[in-house]
Amino acid sequence: MPKMYSQSRPDHVSKDRVPKNETINFILNYSKALSVISYKNVKFEALLN
Amino acid sequence: MNKTPNSDALLVSAYMNGDESALGELVTRHKQRIYSFIYSKVYNRDVAEDVFQDTFIKVIRTLKRGKYNEEGKFLPWVMRIAHNLVIDHFRKNNRMPKFENNDDFNIFSVLHDGSLNVENRMIKSQVENDVKNLIHELPDDQKEVLVMRIYKDMSFKEISEQTGVSINTALGRMRYALINLRKVIDKHNIVLTN
**Residues of chain B contacting residue A34, judged by C-beta atoms under 8 Å apart:** 60-61, 64
Please indicate if any CB of chain A lies within 8 Å of the CB of B186: no
In this prediction, the answer to ipTM > 0.85 reads: no
Domain with residue B60: its CATH number is: 1.10.1740.10
**Residues of chain A contacting residue B39, judged by C-beta atoms under 8 Å apart:** 13, 17
pLDDT band at A10 (very low <50, low <70, confident <90, very high): low
Please indicate if any CB of chain A lies within 8 Å of the CB of B101: no
- In a shared domain, residues B36 and B87: yes
What's residue B113's pLDDT?
77
d(CA B178, CA B157): 19
Crossing angle for the helix pair B118-136 and B167-187, nearest 10 degrees? 120
Residue ranges of the domains in chain A? 20-49
Domain assignment of residue B111, yes or no: no
What's residue B84's pLDDT?
95
**What is chain B's length?**
194
Domain assignment of residue B103, yes or no: no
* Closest chain A residue by Cα to residue B25: A28
The residue segments making up the domain with residue B81 are: 8-95
Domain assignment of residue B2, yes or no: no
Q: Tell me the pLDDT tens digit for each residue of A29-47.
A: 999 999 888 877 787 888 7
What's residue B174's pLDDT?
94
For each successive 10 residues of chain B (194 residues), what is the average pLDDT? 68 91 94 94 92 96 88 90 94 72 74 81 88 89 93 93 93 94 84 72
Nearest to B17 by CA among B70, B76, B53: B70
- In a shared domain, residues B90 and B160: no
Alpha helices in B43-117 (DSSP H): 45-64, 74-95
What's residue B28's pLDDT?
93
Domain assignment of residue B110, yes or no: no
Say yes or no for a CB contact (<8 Å) between B27 and A16: no
Sign of CA dihedral A31, A37, A41, A42: negative
Q: CB of B89 within 8 A of CB of B42?
A: yes
Structural domain count of chain B: 2
Domain termination site, one of B95, B128, B158: B95
* Closest chain A residue by Cα to residue B31: A18
d(CA A27, CA A20): 11
d(CA B150, CA B138): 14
Q: What are phi and psi of B109, to 5 degrees?
A: -80, -20
Domain termination site, one of B28, B61, B95: B95
Nearest to B68 by CA among B134, B129, B9, B151: B9
What's residue A9's pLDDT?
56
H/E run at residue A26: helix A21-33
Domain assignment of residue B82, yes or no: yes
Say yes or no for a CB contact (<8 Å) between A32 and B20: yes
Domain assignment of residue B28, yes or no: yes
- Measured CA to CA in angstroms, residue A49 lies from A46, B45, B57, B65 at distances of 10, 28, 16, 19
* Closest chain A residue by Cα to residue B55: A27
Domain assignment of residue B58, yes or no: yes
Q: Which residues are registered as beta bridge partners of A37?
A: A44
Q: Cβ contacts of residue A30 below 8 Å, gap of 6+?
A: A47, B56, B57, B60
What's residue B94's pLDDT?
75
Q: Judge residue A36's burial from the number of C-beta atoms within 10 Å of its C-beta, 0-12 exposed, 13-18 middle, 19 or more buried.
A: middle
Domain assignment of residue B43, yes or no: yes
Residues 8-47 of A with CB under 8 A from B: 9, 11, 13-20, 23-24, 26-28, 30-32, 34-36, 43, 45
- In a shared domain, residues B12 and B88: yes
Say yes or no for a CB contact (<8 Å) between B64 and A18: no
